[in-house]
Amino acid sequence: MKKTRMVIASALLALVMAVPAMAQPGPGCGSGPDGFLKNLPKDKQELVEKTLEAERANHFQLMQELRVKRIQLEALNVDPKADPAAIDALVGEINAMKGRMFKDRVATQRKIFLETGVLLPMGGRGGKGGPGPRGMR
């Protein structure tokens, strides 16, 4: 009985001590997904937002096309009569699209860095939860 109480008390103490640590800002500049923008002048903030919005719009269209290609690939994969060359060609198209998206992301990251001095993480503004396709995080 005494041992159980001690284990429960220890667990509660660990939880109480861990909560404030979880409430701290994450990695990067500032807190939240746009924390790095807080330290920039207003004109540079607008430039970053405009650049990221253009990238999002471009990637949205590419993601829609990529979804169609993946559905087509799934259909070919379950078709016993599918031509292996057609599957390989479709995989090549998907990889080319992903490569183009990554290249665009790096170009956007570079543009923002050169114009503002802010180096974005590759996953987007806030890292894991930022904009960009899942495969890019």
DSSP summary character for residue 76: H
Give the pLDDT of residue 125. Answer: 46
Query: Whose CA is closest to 83, among 71, 73, 68?
Result: 73
CA-CA distance, 94 to 128, in Å (whole number)? 22
- Each residue's pLDDT, cut to its tens digit, for the chain (137 residues) gives 777 777 787 776 666 666 665 554 444 444 445 666 777 788 888 888 899 999 999 899 999 999 999 999 999 999 999 999 999 999 999 999 999 999 999 999 999 899 888 888 766 544 444 444 444 43
With CA atoms as reference, report the closest residue to 135 among 108, 107, 95. 95
pTM above 0.95, yes or no: no
The answer as to whether 12 is a domain residue is no
- What is the C-alpha separation between 89 and 83, in angstroms, rounded? 10
Domains held by the chain: number: 1
pLDDT for 93 equals 96
Whether 18 is in a domain gets the answer no
Range of the domain at 100: 37-136
Residue 16, pLDDT score: 61
Establish if 7 belongs to a structural domain. Answer: no
In a domain, 58, yes or no: yes
d(CA 66, CA 94): 7
Per-residue tokens: 28: 């990067």
pLDDT for res 84: 94
Q: What does the alpha-carbon distance between residue 64 and residue 127 come to, in Å, rounded to a whole number? A: 22
Domain annotation covers residue 10: no
pLDDT at 135: 45
Say if 32 falls within a structural domain: no
CATH of the domain at 104: 1.20.120.1490
